[in-house]
Amino acid sequence: MAWYPGAQRMELQPESDAQSAIRPTQFILHSIAAPWTARRMYEYWRDSSNLESHFGLGYEGDLAQYIGTQTRADANYTANRRPDGTGAVSIETASNLKHTDPWTDKQVEQLIRLGVWLHQHHGLPLRICRSHDDPGYGYHRLHSAWSSGGTACPGDARVNQFRKVVFPGIVKRANGQTAPVPPEEDSVPDMLNEANAGDLELTSGNWAGLSFRTAILLVGPVRHHVVVHLLFGDDTPANTVIEGRFYTTDKNGGDRSLYLPTQAYGAGGHQFTCTADLGAGRHLRFMVRARTPDNRPVRLLHRAVSGPFWTL
């Protein structure tokens, strides 16, 4: 069970305990076609319906969570829980009765914050879902498999805001404010986005090179701002020291050059960033080391790498 610290907890029972577990890989945004507060949504689901989303957001930015993000909710049809156990985290947002109005500034801000938390806590990759089961961010009508019989939700104005403000806001904030200066004004970066959901057991005390799609994150000459996100199992002891380290090699993996390691501790999501220019023919790679107090191994559940880069 995971509860977002930025929301008021209004737990729905029996759904919260009775519905099956998911591993959240998507975030899907809805409009509820009612100008309700987050508390009014809770009362509606508690008293009048057994369909629900994980979160509800009022016009004033009031945000509530009804079900843990690792439990199935019902707002997204086949995306609620897929046969492989992955599923979508959903949010209903207050709107007018025909969901034609845009989100308020307060709603936009809350959507960005929650989107960043889902990236950091559950490892959602920073991209718009390319298919109905592709991990990432989306809105209800984006893929037909997310509704039965089609939907206009969340409405044209909000689809436009999602693409121009909300999703770019999530990416920008998740990547921090330390983005590099483009090599030329107005030059548009390419985006690195790779994820690997295979479980990996890390023996205590040993550096392990990680592969995402492959072990090579980027090939120079490029200027880059790369973020590696790692998600460790809940059973990782709190005083486990986790170190992440970027390094570069030649094209055969030799001639290693190491960046300084960055430390993190314990279970959950950790991020490691690297902003640099990578020389011609050099390969950027990443390694990790976990040290547990009793030398037990730890489980790495999910790893993702993302960020902009420019070819030099």
Decide if residue 140 touches Zn ion (CB under 5 A). yes
N-terminal to C-terminal alpha carbon distance within the chain: 45
**Listed residue (119, 150, 65) closest to 307, CA to CA:** 119
Per CB under 5 A, the segment of 27-35, 178-186, 215-223, 267-275 that binds Zn ion is 27-35
Backbone φ and ψ of 156, nearest 5°? -55, -45
Which is nearer to Zn ion, 88 or 153 (by Cβ)? 153
- Say whether residue 304 binds Zn ion (CB under 5 A): no
Q: Shortest Cβ distance from residue 165 to Zn ion (Å)?
A: 19
Please tell me the distance from the alpha carbon of residue 208 to that of residue 267, in angstroms, as a whole number. Answer: 18
Residue 223 interacts with Zn ion (CB under 5 A): yes or no: no
Distance in Å, CB of 208 to Zn ion, minimum: 41
Closest approach of Zn ion to the CB of residue 53, in Å: 8
**Secondary structure element (H or E) that encloses residue 173, with its range:** helix 167-174
Q: Interacting stretch for Zn ion, rule CB under 5 A, among 45-53, 81-89, 150-158, 170-178?
A: 150-158
Q: Does residue 99 touch Zn ion according to CB under 5 A?
A: no
> Please, are residues 257 and 306 in contact by the beta-carbon 8 Å criterion?
no
CB 81 → Zn ion: shortest distance, Å?
17
Binding-site member from 7, 15, 30, 223 for Zn ion (CB under 5 A): 30
C-alpha atoms less than 13 angstroms from C-alpha of 22 in its C-beta half-sphere: 27
User: How far is 212 from 47, CA to CA, in rounded Å?
Assistant: 45
| Cβ atoms within 10 Å, residue 243 | 17
Token readout for 93 is 């947002």
**91 touches Zn ion by CB under 5 A:** no
**Nearest partner of 172 among 228, 217, 116, 130, judged by Cα:** 116
| CB of residue 1 to Zn ion, shortest distance in Å | 24
Distance in Å, CB of 61 to Zn ion, minimum: 20
Residue 116 binding Zn ion, by CB under 5 A = no
C-beta of 140 vs 229, nearer to Zn ion: 140
- For the bound state, the minimum distance from the C-beta of residue 80 to Zn ion, rounded and expressed in Å, comes to 12
112 binds Zn ion (CB under 5 A): no
Contact, 137 vs 26, CB < 8 A? yes
Element (H, E) at 18: helix 15-18
Site for Zn ion in 151-170 (CB under 5 A): 153
Beta 283-291 vs 218-219: how paired, if at all? Answer: antiparallel
Stretch of 47-55, 149-157, 159-167, 278-286 lying at the interface with Zn ion (CB under 5 A): 149-157
Where does this chain bind Zn ion (CB under 5 A)?
Answer: 30, 140, 153
